[in-house]
Structure 1
Amino acid sequence: MNSLRIEADEAASKVEELQKQVKALEQENLQKEHEITSLTHKNTGLEAEVDKLEAQLKEAKALAEEGGQHGTQNETLQRRLQLLEEEAEEADKNLRETNDKLRQTDVKAGHFERKVQALEQDRDQWEAKYEDMAKKYAAVQKELEDFQAEIGNI
């Protein structure tokens, strides 16, 4: 009986020890579940942050690409501006040359206008002289005809 008691005590102590192990394992299991829950929550948060960062990365890439396009457009516009400035300078140079030529032409035109006026005055004088001479010629012609008529009558 003693041996049964000893065996029962040993079995009871083993049961107690096993119950303690079960409690410890249950406690450890509960801690692990809490840790899993915590890690799952943390993982969800990190996944959301990854999604957010990926969206920001896409935006940054889009902005970088847009910036590159703007840079290219800016270079194109700067080249265009430079060409337009060169054309404007050339046009300004041509305008100055044209204005100089116009002034010279105006001076020549004024000179020729004065010449034309002088020649018109000369022409008017010559026409007046011609008319006088034509009248004198007509008068002399008439005198000659009259004289010839008188001579013819004599």
Structure 2
Amino acid sequence: MDAIKKKLSALREEADAAVDRAEAAEAKNKKYEQEILVKDQEIASLQHKLGVLEADLDKTEAKVGELKTAADAGESGRSTNDALSRKVQLLEEELDTSEKTIKETVEKLRQVDVKAEHFERQLQRVEQERDTWEKKWEDMEAKYKNSQKELDELVRSMGDI
């Protein structure tokens, strides 16, 4: 009788430990899902910024083209030519800055993609681990129910004696 009680106690402790581990795994899973959502939002934000920067780049390139054409066509005055040259230089600097920003944004996007893939792999691993714990939990629960049936039968047979 004591052996059965010890066995039941051990099974209960194992089941409680399995439940605790499953809850911990679920908490980790939720944490990783939240991190993935944050990274997805960062990706969307960076993609939006990239689109805005590309549009700005197109506008800037168009302005540079217009200013170069205007500078070539209009030799009307030295002051006008100097002003246009300064504008072209500023636009080219702005273009260089925009191109640098685009490169940085693309690199950040690539890094975010790598991180997202890493988190997806972690999430898959955690989900597999959770599935393993759920399987163990089901097995332990089945063992517990079988042990409970055996105990009930033993108690019943002892009551008949």
**TM-score, length-normalised on structure 1?**
0.50
Which structure's relative contact order is higher, taking Cα pairs within 8 Å and 6+ residues apart?
Answer: 2
Task: Answer with 1 or 2: which has the greater Rg.
Answer: 1
**TM-score, length-normalised on structure 2?**
0.48
